[in-house]
């Protein structure tokens, strides 16, 4: 049997990506080192060569998922209304399954809770920025963007649960409710945002 060698960098990356996929599929608690190894196609002993413990691997995976999401946030869209509309309608399923699992784990894992809180605050700030710019561009009114951002993120989280977990919403309904809520927060004319959703 000839073994296939990879650079340490590539292999680490491969393992982390496999871990993220498996967490989304099976949940933090159910992900096994043997699972991850099988997903990549290596012996499970190899993981110990890159990560001192299972916990370290999962922490790296979560960290990576956060970084991924934050990095791909700015969709390189200039129009503030389009940016906000896209933000309201972009709820990536895989990521949300990871977040919801992290929510469930957070009360027992202070480190994860801290990371989760930091991630949330970053998204909150991003959302506040989107709201500010969209408000100015759309002729709306927004006394307290930070408060509005809190309300929008709460709504989006709740809608994501209804969409991805409870499945009591269709994607279209999700988008309609989210956009309507954002329009109401900014006192925009109904439909302003709905018409701005990028066609892509």
What is the crossing angle of helices 110-138 and 54-71, to 10°? 0
Tokens, residue 69: 């999401």
Euclidean distance between CA atoms 27 and 9, whole angstroms: 25
With CB under 5 to 8 Å by kind, the binding choice for 101 among its own copies, DNA, none is its own copies
With CB under 5 to 8 Å by kind, the binding choice for 27 among DNA, its own copies, none is its own copies
With CB under 5 to 8 Å by kind, the binding choice for 69 among its own copies, DNA, none is none
CA distances, 37 to each of 11, 93, 95 (Å): 11, 24, 21
Query: What residues from 8 to 37 belong to the interface with DNA (CB under 7 A)?
Result: 8, 11, 31-35
Residue whose CB is less far from its own copies, 61 or 82: 61
Euclidean distance between CA atoms 188 and 99, whole angstroms: 30
Annotate 43-75 with DSSP letters as a single string.
-GGGHHHH-SSHHHHHHHHHHHHHHHHHHT-S-
Query: What residues from 135 to 194 belong to the interface with DNA (CB under 7 A)?
Result: none
Q: From 50-58, 77-85, 88-96, 132-140, give the range in contact with DNA by CB under 7 A.
A: 50-58
| Least separation in angstroms between CB 57 and DNA | 8
CB atoms inside a 10 Å sphere around CB 18: 21
With CB under 5 to 8 Å by kind, the binding choice for 70 among its own copies, DNA, none is none
The answer to whether 67 contacts DNA (rule: CB under 7 A) is no
Which residues contribute to the site for DNA (CB under 7 A)? 1-8, 11, 31-35, 41-46, 48-49, 52-55
């Amino acid at each position: 049997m000839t073994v296939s060698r990879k650079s340490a960098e590539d292999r680490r990356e491969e393992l982390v990506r496999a871990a993220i996929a498996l967490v989304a599929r099976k949940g933090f608690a159910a992900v096994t080192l043997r699972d991850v190894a099988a997903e990549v196609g290596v012996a499970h002993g190899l993981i110990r060569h890159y990560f001192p413990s299972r916990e370290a691997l999962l922490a790296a995976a979560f960290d990576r998922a956060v970084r991924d999401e934050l990095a791909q946030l700015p969709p390189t869209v200039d129009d503030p209304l389009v940016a906000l509309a896209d933000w309201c309608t972009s709820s990536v399923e895989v990521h949300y399954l990871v977040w919801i699992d992290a929510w469930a784990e957070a009360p027992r894992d202070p480190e994860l809770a801290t990371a989760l809180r930091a991630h949330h605050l970053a998204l909150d700030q991003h959302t506040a920025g989107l709201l500010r710019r969209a408000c100015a561009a759309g002729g709306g009114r927004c006394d307290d963007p930070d408060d509005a951002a809190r309300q929008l993120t709460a709504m989006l989280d709740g809608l994501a649960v209804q969409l991805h977990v409870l499945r009591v919403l269709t994607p279209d309904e999700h988008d309609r409710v989210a956009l309507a809520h954002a329009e109401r927060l900014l006192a925009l004319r109904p439909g302003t945002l709905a018409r701005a959703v990028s066609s892509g």
